[in-house]
Amino acid sequence: MTANISTLHRDILRPRRASLGVPFISIDRPSYGGTTSILPIPDGSDFNHETGVWLHRYILPRLWAEFGAPNKCNSIVLLCHSLGVMGGIIAASLHARDDEPLYPLGGLIASGMGNTQSSFMRMTPPSFQAVDEDHVLLPPSIKDTIMFKPGTVDAEVLEQSGRLNSKAPIAETGLFTAVWLPVWKEKWAAHITVPVMFSLVEDDPFFVADNTEIETCVKAFKRSSRVDGSLVSGAPHCMELSHWSQGWYARCFGFALECAAGLHEP
C-alpha cells in the first residue's frame, strides 16, 4: 500500500513548522487522493475500523521508519480533522493495546468530529453527487457554504476549492452516523492512553457543539494521561484553512512539543 504525501497544508504550515523545529507530514487517508484504497471492506468490519488498522499496521510504521527515526524524533503525534478523526482514534486505541507497536505514539489531536449529529444535518443532509457505485462528490459551491461561515476564510483559499476537492467513499460518508457515533466512546476512545487534545467549533454544521458536548467527548478518553478540551468561538468547521488556522496550528504544535518532551507520559 502507499500513503500519498499531501500538499494541502504545506504553505500554511511551513513558517510555523520551521520556527518550532517540528517535522510535519500531511498524508491523504486510505481511499483518498493517491493513497491505496481499502475498498471493498471485509465482512465484519467497517471503513473506520479498516482505516485505523491500516494507519496502525502499515502507514504510521512506514512513516516512522522513513521520517521519524532518521530525523531523531521520539514519537508521532496524530493530528486529525473531521472524518479523519475516526481512523485516528481507532489507530491510537489499537496502539494502546499493542504489546509491540512498530512506532511510538506521543499524542492525539482531534477536531471537527463530535458525539451528536446536529439537527441541521439530520434535516438537511448535504446533496452529494454520485461518482460511481462506491464514491460520491460534494460540489465545491455546496461544500464551501458548509465548511466556512461568511467572512471566516480568505477568497484565495476558496479559489482552490475545486482543486482540493476529492471524491469520498460512501462506506465512510454514508455510514459514520450509524456505525461510529453510537460506539466510539466505549469501543475505542476508552482504551487510549496517550495525551489527547480535542476541539469543536461553535455552531458546527455537522455536530452539536457546546461545552456540554465537549465535556462528554473529553470524558470518553478515560484512560488518557491528559485530555485538553476546547470550544472555539466563531471558527468554521474547516478551521484549518480559515482565519483561525495559524492560531490553531500554533496550539497543535505546542501540544505536540509537550507530548514529545514527555511532560505527560502515560
Query: pTM value?
Result: 0.91
**pLDDT tier at 264 (50, 70, 90 boundaries)?**
very low
**pLDDT tier at 58 (50, 70, 90 boundaries)?**
very high
CA torsion through residues 161, 29, 108, 171, sign: positive
- CA–CA separation, 264 vs 195, rounded Å? 7
Given a contact cutoff of 8 angstroms between Cβ atoms, the answer to whether 26 and 16 are in contact is no
* pLDDT at res. 187: 98
- CA–CA separation, 190 vs 155, rounded Å? 41
| Percentage of the chain exceeding pLDDT 70 | 91
Q: Report the run of H or E that residue 77 belongs to, with start and end.
A: strand 76-81
- Helix, strand, or coil (residue 29): coil
* pLDDT at res. 168: 92
Residue 13 C-alpha from the chain's centroid: 16
Residue 105 pLDDT exceeds 60: yes
* pLDDT at res. 125: 80
Residue 202 pLDDT exceeds 60: yes
- Helix, strand, or coil (residue 76): strand
* pLDDT at res. 120: 85
- CA–CA separation, 232 vs 222, rounded Å? 23
Given a contact cutoff of 8 angstroms between Cβ atoms, the answer to whether 30 and 37 are in contact is yes
Question: In the numeric block, which cell numbers belong to residue 160?
Answer: 482552490
* pLDDT at res. 12: 46
Residue 231 backbone dihedrals phi, psi, to 5 degrees? -115, 115
Residue 72 backbone dihedrals phi, psi, to 5 degrees? 60, 35
CATH of 7-263, one of 3.40.50.2300, 3.40.50.1820, 3.40.640.10, 3.30.390.50: 3.40.50.1820
State the DSSP code for 67.
Answer: I
* pLDDT at res. 5: 39
Report DSSP letters for 85-126, one per residue: HHHHHHHHHHHHT-SS-SS-EEEEEEES--SSB-HHHHHS--
Express each pLDDT in 122-150 by its tens digit.
Answer: 888 888 899 999 999 999 989 999 999 99
Residue 18 pLDDT exceeds 60: no
**pLDDT (mean) for 231-249:** 95
Residue 156 backbone dihedrals phi, psi, to 5 degrees? -65, -30
Report DSSP letters for 185-254, one per residue: HHHTGGG--S-EEEEEETT-SSB--SHHHHHHHHHH-TT-S-EEEEEESS--S-GGGSTTHHHHHHHHHH
Residue 2 backbone dihedrals phi, psi, to 5 degrees? -130, 145
- Helix, strand, or coil (residue 157): helix
Residue at 139: amino acid letter: P
> Domains of the chain: which residue ranges?
7-263
